[in-house]
Amino acid sequence: MPNQLPNDARGPSLHQYRPHPDTIAISAGRPERRPDAPLNQPIVPASTYVGGDGTEWVGYGRYGNPGWSALEDAVGALEGGTALAFASGMAAAAAVFSSIPPDAVVVIPEHCYLGVASLAHEHAQRHGLTVRTVDITDTERVLAAADGARLIWLESPANPTMEVADLAAIAAGRPDGCLLLVDNTFATPILQQPIGLGSDIVLHSATKFLSGHSDALCGMLIFADGREELLEAAESARKLHGATPGVLEAYLVLRGIRTLSVRVRHAESTARTLAETLAEHPLVERVRYPGFGSMLAIELPDASAADTMINSLRLWVHATSLGGVESSLERRRRWPSELKSVPEGLVRMSVGLEHVDDLIADLRQALDLIT
């Protein structure tokens, strides 16, 4: 099973319990242990495979790769389900939307990743999907909106505004037949495992924290036990739409996962200090920090103040992505299509692994230049 260590890696008692996520991140997705075998899953750059006479063969490069399988084993083990790898987080999201009936109802956060909101509304315009938006912090309203819905789509913490949902309460209170998907990109399975809280599907933009080095595009879907029909539909969508990850990208993400725990915990400690420090600055009107993880956002008086700060930074990187070892940030409303409910002066911040004192010093000197 993907959430267990290989047979030869288990000690006399390891098979009796699920290892800690810190251990899973290191041990899962490894090749079989035998003399002179590689410790890491090698890259297999193959588009074509030799045919077989049974059912257990790949056949073609769009249908599978040993590198994908290793990555899927590791992520599935971390999240407690069965994983599928995709070319990007948006490819994974598109695979989910492609399986939703055209006349269905989907509930999404009022604040969520721009790409997901755009995808949902595109399906509404083209296919008749009904999209209901809700404040995910209001559990009663989420459950009310879920009446008659096929899917609740949650981000917790939400991107870019950092709201947190009560995942367990929503999972327990949703109506029969309504699926729950949780985008766990920001929290990572080190800090939060939505399937254990009742989610049917977990999504990751593996480009972000799972990879951790800003060098690979990849997405993941993880399905809870008993959701084989959802898994099969997503795998079919991956094959038919060609949304497969590159073999190098799969290798890089799996390599990044080996240090996921230490990266997340170090960055989380720094983020807490930054949140406390920034809350005391007179120009910072609000700090949005959910209390865990390494993502936060601050609100400055307006777009001009935010842009001045960003353009004056020397260490922080102005970039639209996140989750790398380098600390990055951006004013989300610089994108014309960003949700209008996101404040103009909101700056989303992804905390990396630099020393906290240097990150604070850079922010202070940039904030001091705002007039």
Domain boundaries, the chain: 7-257, 260-367
For 286, phi then psi, to 5°, come to -160, 140
The single residue of 18, 22, 49, 62 carrying the catalytic annotation is 62
260-367 adopts what CATH topology?
Answer: Aspartate Aminotransferase, domain 1 (3.90.1150)
Strands 179-183 and 151-155: parallel
CB 165 within 8 A of CB 153: no
Write down the pLDDT at residue 5: 39
- Is 239 in the active site? no
Write down the pLDDT at residue 7: 40
Q: Which residue has the tokens 């251990």?
A: 23
3-state secondary structure of 94: helix
H or E segment and range at residue 181: strand 179-183
Q: Which residue has the tokens 């990266």?
A: 263
Q: Helix %, strand %, coil % for the chain, to 5?
A: 40, 15, 45
Beta bridge partners of 318: 329
The single residue of 73, 113, 238, 348 carrying the catalytic annotation is 113
The single residue of 30, 73, 150, 183 carrying the catalytic annotation is 183
Distance of CA 104 to the CA centre of its chain: 25
- CA nearest 80: which of 191, 168, 18, 3? 3
- Is 62 in the active site? yes
- Is 208 in the active site? yes
3-state secondary structure of 223: strand
- Is 34 in the active site? no
Q: Got the DSSP string for 161-220?
A: T-----HHHHHHHSPTT-EEEEE-TTTHHHH--GGGGT-SEEEEETTTTTT-SS----EE
Q: What is the pTM of this model?
A: 0.93
260-367 and 7-257 share a CATH fold: no
Provide CATH code, domain 7-257: 3.40.640.10
The single residue of 208, 263, 333, 348 carrying the catalytic annotation is 208
CB 300 within 8 A of CB 343: no
The per-residue pLDDT string of the chain (371 residues; one tens digit each, 9 = 90 and over) reads 333 334 444 344 444 578 999 999 999 999 999 999 999 999 999 999 888 776 677 889 999 999 999 999 999 999 999 999 999 999 999 999 999 998 999 999 999 999 999 999 999 999 999 999 999 999 999 999 999 999 999 999 999 999 999 999 999 999 999 999 999 999 999 999 999 999 999 999 999 999 999 999 999 999 999 999 999 999 999 999 999 999 999 999 999 999 999 999 999 999 999 999 999 999 999 999 999 999 999 999 999 999 999 999 999 999 999 999 999 999 999 998 888 889 999 999 999 999 999 999 999 999 999 97
Q: How far is CA 274 from CA 9, 280, 297, 356, in A?
A: 40, 10, 10, 8
